Structure 1
Amino acid sequence: MNPDDWTPREMRHGFVSLLSGSGMPLENISRLVGHGTTIVTETVYRKQLRPALLDGAQAMDDLFLAQEP
């Protein structure tokens, strides 16, 4: 995706997801984005990127290691 095409909504979701993935407490993230509670931050904005990336990396390792002679 071209960064010039990113919408404010996509950037907000990315911001929350990256902070969450870095280990910042959800309460702090909620305050940064102006939410009164963590419910909306957690259920709407936060996407768990790290588990998906790690699962994908492990699957690729498994595929390539299985191909070694």
Structure 2
Amino acid sequence: MFLEECVLLRPLPTRDELFGYGLAVAYLEISGQRVDIKFELWRELINDIRALRPDSYEIAACLRSWQFP
């Protein structure tokens, strides 16, 4: 997942998490999923990724569980 890559590898000088979040939302919307999830949920996921809690499969499962409208 690109969100995971941005958070963990920090390829940009600043705002890696925000960039990863933006790309994840863009990807979901391009895939036909309307994203209307509070940023707090995204921030929790990003913090979990930063703490190395979920793997890529668990991140994908989390995104699927949000049931985008």
Shorter-chain TM-score bucket reads: 0.3 to 0.5
TM-score normalised over the length of structure 1: 0.35
Higher RCO structure (Cα 8 Å, ≥6 apart): 2
TM-score scaled by structure 2?
Answer: 0.35
